Amino acid sequence: MSLSDQARVIPRLHLVGTLVVVVVLTLALGSIFSWQHIDAHRASIARLEQVVTAKLEARLDAEMASALDYLEFTRSRTEETLRNAVIEPVEAALQIATAIHAREVGRRPDDDIQRLIVEALRPVRFFDGRGYFFIDDMSGRFILLPTAPQFEGRLMPDNQDDTGRYIMRGLIDAARLPPGQGFFRYRWYRPDDPQRMADKLAYVRHFEPYDWLIGTGDYTYEWEIHLQNEALARLRGFRFGESGYVGLIDAEGRSLLSPSEPELEGKHFSELPAEQGEALRTLYAKAREGGGLVRYLWRNPATGVLAPKLARVETAQPWGWILVVAVFEDELHGALLAERESFERMSGPRGRGLMIALGLALGVALVASWLFSRWSGRLFMRYHDENRAQRAALRAQAERLRESEDKLATILDSVEAYIYIKGADYRYSYANRLVCDLFDCRQADLVGKTDADFFDAATAANLARNDRRVIEHGERVAVEEINTTRGGTAERTFMSVKLPLRREDGSIYALCGISTDITQRKAMEEEIRHLAFYDALTDLPNRRLLVDRLQQLLAQGSRNAQHGALLFIDLDNFKALNDTLGHDQGDVLLVEVACRLRSCVREEDTVARIGGDEFVVMLGGLGVREDEAVAHARAVGEKILDCLGKHYVLQGHVHVSTPSIGIRVFAGKGLQVDELIRQADLAMYEAKAAGRNTLRFFAPELPQRPH
C-alpha cells in the first residue's frame, strides 16, 4: 500500500478506533460509578481520620516544644537570677559600713569603728537564713565570718575548695573589679550537709577606708530548686484545647505534676492505684526508650470513665524531668462525625453531576474524532515529505558529528587525567584511555556498565552518593574519593571534579567527571603526619601528641569532673648501659620498655616517650573521687615497677633496669599541661632521691628542680 493510500485509510481507522474506545470507556465508567462512590466515601473518611490525627500530633509537638523551651529558659535564668539577688544585699551592707564610718570617723578610734561595722552586719540574715555577710581584708585575713567566728582574725590567703581553687585570692581579685562585676564562683560547705561542698556564687565590693572587701553569696543549687518550683507552678496552669495539659514525672518514676489528679503528686507509679499506676508506668517506659508518641487509658474527669489519651513524652535535660503533653482523643470525634454527615449530603448531587459530565464528554469526543480524521489525512502527507528531507539533513549532520567526536576523543585520551561521562541512569557513556586502563577493558565493553561492575561494594556506594548530588540536585562536586577496584588489594585516592551536563531547558541528562590520582601524595602526607606525632624508635606518641591528648583529657575532665593521672617514668642507670653495651643495645632496651609499658595499661590510656629514657603514661577516667583516682594510679605504677623491674637479655647477657616513677593526679579547670608534666617530673626525682625503683606522688611541698 502506498503512502498516499495510507494517508486516506489511517485517519478512518483512527476515527473508528477512537469511537470504540470512547464508548467502551463511557460504559465502563458508568458501570463502576456506584462502586467508586462507596470506595471514595471510605477513602475520604480514612483521609479525614489521618488528617485529624496528624493535626492532633502536630499540636502535641508544638505544645511539647513550648514547654521544653520554657523549662530551658527557666533553667538558663539561674545564674542571672542569683547574680541579681546577691548584688542588692552587698550594696546595702556597703552603704551601712560607709554610713557608720562617715558618722564616727574622727570621734572614735579606727578599731572601735571597725567593730561597730562588724557587729552591725554580723546578725543580718537573708535567703531563708542561708545568706550572711563576710568581711576580709585585702591581704587575706578574715574580719567577719558569722558561720565560723573562730577563723576571724586569721590570715588565710591560700584557703582552697575541694577542686583546688583559691577562695580568698579569688574574692580579693573580684573586689578589685568595677561595681557590678565583682563575682567569684567557688565551692563551700553545704548548710544541710557540712561534709560536702557545693557550687557557690559570691559578690564582693571593696571598702576603701579599711581596705576591706564586703560580700555575700549563695548556693546555685538552692536557686535551681527555687526556679524548678516556679516552673512547676507555671506548668500547672498550662492548658490547651478542652482537656490538654502538661504532666511531669521525675527520673525515678514519681509524679511531680498531675493537674487533673493532684493527689497523685509525689507518689511513685508503683504506689498508685492500678489504672493510674499502669498509665504512668507506660509513660515512664516510653521516656526511657527515648520519648515519642504513646497512647494509654486515663479516666476522663468530665465523664468518669476510662478514655484513650494521646501524649507526647520527652525528657528535659539537665533536670531529668519527664514531660508528658497529653489530650483526650475524643476531642476530635465531633469534627469527624460532622464531616461524615456533610459527605453523605453531598454524595447524591455529585453522582448525578458526574453522569451528566460523562454524557457531554462522549458527545464532544465523537465530534472531535470525526474532525480529527479529516485533518490528519492532509497532515500525514506533509509530514512524510518533511520527514524525508529531515532524514537526509540528519545523515549529513551525523557524519560531521562523528568526525568531531573522533577528534575530541583523541584529545581527551592524551590528557593525563581520568575523564568520563555517565548518563542519568548512572551508566558510563564515555571514558578516556586512562579510565579504560584502570578497568582493564575497552571503551566498547565499558559503555552501559555501572561502577558496581568495576569497584567493590563500598566504593560503588560512595561514588553513587557523590554522583547523585550532581545528577539529582545539580551540584558541582569536588571531593576526594578512595576507590578499590574489584579484586584489587590496594586503595587508590582520587581528587574528583563532577559537573552536571544540561539540556537547553536546564534539565540534567548526564554528568562529566575529571579525576586525578593523588594516592602517592596522600601517602606522603600521612607519613609526614606520623613522623610529627610519633617517636621514630618506639613508635609511641611523642611529647607533641601527648600534650594534645592531655589538653583533650583536661577539657573532658572539666565537664564531667573525672580525675586523671600522669606517670613520669625514668629508667635507673640507663646511661651506664649505653656506656657499657653501646647506644644500639640501649635502643633495643627502650623498644622492649615501650612494649612492656603498653601491656601495663588500658587501650584508651596513652604511653609516650618524651626523650631519652623518659616515658609518660597518661591515665583518664579514674572516677570523680580523688582517693579512688590515687588508688588506681598507684596500682598502675606498682604494675609498671614490677613489669619493668624484670630482667632483659641483651647480647646474651642478663640486664636489670629498674624505673623511678613520679605520679601527678589531677582534676578540674585551670590546669596547665606543661605544669602537670613538670610536677610529675618533680615527683619522679623525689622517687630517685628515695632510692630509685619506687614511686612517689606529687605534693606542693616538694622541692623545685632548677631549670
Q: Grid coordinates standing for 434?
A: 586512562
Listed residue (186, 158, 300, 323) closest to 247, CA to CA: 323
Contact 53, 335 (CB under 8 A): no
Q: Is 218 helix (H, G, I), strand (E, B) or coil?
A: strand
Distance CA 433, CA 418 (A): 8
Query: Between helices 33-104 and 333-414, what is the axis angle to 10°?
Result: 90
Q: Grid coordinates standing for 100?
A: 557608720
Residue 287 burial (10 A CB sphere; 0-12, 13-18, 19+): buried
Q: Grid coordinates standing for 422?
A: 555517565
Radius of gyration of the chain (CA): 42
Distance CA 74, CA 95 (A): 32
Adjacent-strand bridge partners of 240: 244
Distance CA 397, CA 392 (A): 9
Catalytic residues: 613
Listed residue (177, 229, 217) closest to 88, CA to CA: 217
Contact 133, 124 (CB under 8 A): yes
Contact 664, 679 (CB under 8 A): yes
Q: Where are the beta strands (DSSP E) in 546-701?
A: 564-571, 606-611, 614-619, 648-650, 653-655, 659-666, 695-697
Phi, psi of 289 (to 5 degrees): -80, -5
